[in-house]
């Protein structure tokens, strides 16, 4: 059972989660990059990240993730078309990070609106298909000798610009999750084993009291 202090901490983090900010990792193959991106996503309040991977799975989490995978949901899609359609259906504008002439400076984007940032593989970058489906291509200007950044560094630079804009707009000052999602996520974070058991039995989660403790019915 989590302590009241722990429940308070979980609620504090959930209060700042941003359901309309996310990343889509397209074939990011190195576990340490994958984990580092999730860690930055957690730090800016991403609730759910997205991935497509040729193996149909995702790179194994490296210990550098500091267990962050527990706090950022990961939705794996079979291909990039499905992933981008899913995001657009949910109202996200999709921004493909690309070192191309068509790309605009990443700071020109309004990240206070629903935004999904597509990150490409270490070797090949974002695919032409993903770029064609995206609403815009964005780039972090490179003024030195290196042609590109490490993918997790690029992710952090863009996500923290999104965080800067959202802080300025007051989006971390009020709860952004709808009440049902808030209760569901709080239960899954606070009582992961219980949540797994109830899901496997096809049973609903119990209501939570004001502190986040489950209220089990006596029937
Ligand atoms: N040869 C690849 C290419 O041309 O795209 C380089 C891939 S780069 C090492 C891996 C990923 O990091 C890219 O797909 C992109 O998501 C991100 N990235 C790296 N540098 C970037 C930059 N300057 N602007 C935007 N994204 C960048």
Write the pLDDT tens digit of every residue in 15-66. 999 999 999 999 999 999 999 999 999 999 999 999 998 777 778 654 545 5
Instruction: Check pocket membership of 97 for ligand 1, CB cut-off 6 A.
Output: yes
Bridge partners of residue 137, in order along the sequence: 96
Percent of the residues in the chain that have a pLDDT greater than 70, as a whole number: 96
CATH of 18-168, one of 3.40.1280.10, 3.40.50.1220, 3.40.50.2000, 1.10.3720.10: 3.40.1280.10
Per-residue confidence (pLDDT) for residue 19, from 0 to 100 = 98
| Residue partners of 18: CB distance under 8 A and separation at least 6 | 44, 45, 46, 47, 166, 171, 172, 176
Give the residue, by CA position, lying nearest to ligand 1 atom 7.
125
Write the pLDDT tens digit of every residue in 157-196. 999 999 999 999 999 999 999 999 999 999 999 999 999 9
Widest distance between CA atoms in the chain: 69
Q: Which of 26, 109, 125, 136 to mutate to test the pocket of ligand 1 (most atoms within 8 A of CB)?
A: 125
Per-residue confidence (pLDDT) for residue 55, from 0 to 100 = 79
Q: Which of 154, 157, 159 to mutate to test the pocket of ligand 1 (most atoms within 8 A of CB)?
A: 154
Domain limits of the chain?
Answer: 1-17+177-213, 18-168
């Amino acid at each position: 059972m989590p302590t009241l202090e722990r429940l308070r901490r979980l609620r504090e983090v959930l209060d700042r989660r941003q359901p309309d900010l996310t990343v889509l990792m397209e074939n990011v193959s190195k576990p340490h990059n994958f984990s580092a991106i999730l860690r930055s996503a957690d730090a800016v309040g991403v609730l759910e990240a997205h991935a497509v991977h040729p193996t149909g799975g995702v790179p194994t989490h490296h210990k550098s993730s500091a267990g962050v995978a527990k706090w950022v949901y990961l939705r794996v899609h079979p291909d990039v078309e499905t992933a981008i359609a899913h995001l657009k259906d949910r109202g996200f504008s999709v921004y493909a990070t690309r070192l191309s002439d068509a790309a605009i400076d990443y700071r020109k984007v309004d990240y206070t609106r629903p935004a999904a940032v597509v990150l490409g593989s270490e070797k090949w970058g974002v695919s032409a298909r993903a770029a064609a489906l995206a609403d815009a291509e964005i780039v972090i200007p490179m003024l030195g000798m290196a042609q590109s950044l490490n993918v997790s560094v690029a992710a952090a630079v863009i996500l923290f610009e999104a965080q800067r804009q959202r802080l300025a707009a007051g989006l971390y000052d009020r709860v952004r999750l709808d009440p049902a999602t808030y209760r569901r996520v709080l239960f899954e974070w606070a009582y992961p084993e219980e949540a797994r058991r109830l899901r496997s039995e096809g049973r609903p989660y119990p209501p939570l009291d004001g502190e986040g403790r489950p209220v089990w019915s006596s029937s």
